[in-house]
Structure 1
């Protein structure tokens, strides 16, 4: 299930993986939110190289998924689950890091509530389609 999450009015593309019971988030979107970079793809590319050179395994474990790009086409983008994302956030100097971590925790809490009460998930889906 693909979804757009908003953090401070900025979209973060996400996908819920039913088999793994995990959210995956577009790393480029998170980089853009945290850094306010005009070119988050380049920022991520440079950060990824630096982390790989340091031997950071988080980058190695990030996967690519097709997600809807701003141009309306499905394109491959690097994604990370919540745990991987929290590790990556530590490598990005940003005053928004702590509020973003709290936002991730809220998304996790909402998903747990939806699992316990499927009517909440139906209500969210209905709201997002309107």
Structure 2
């Protein structure tokens, strides 16, 4: 995930939560409606940015650096 993808994901989550709170959404159907609206806000913002920059926001990259492989001890004391 790129930095921009993380930001747009956060925008979708924030928008969804605020819409659900404003509409006092309860239950799956009402929260689904809020989620679709919140996702739409982030989608439109993403598309606007892509149109202005000519660059895609969605990537196959991983935003976090690769972690060092850590060995996990098995219950029997062996390591993997």
Common topology (TM > 0.5): no
The higher relative CO (CA closer than 8 Å, separation ≥ 6) is in 2
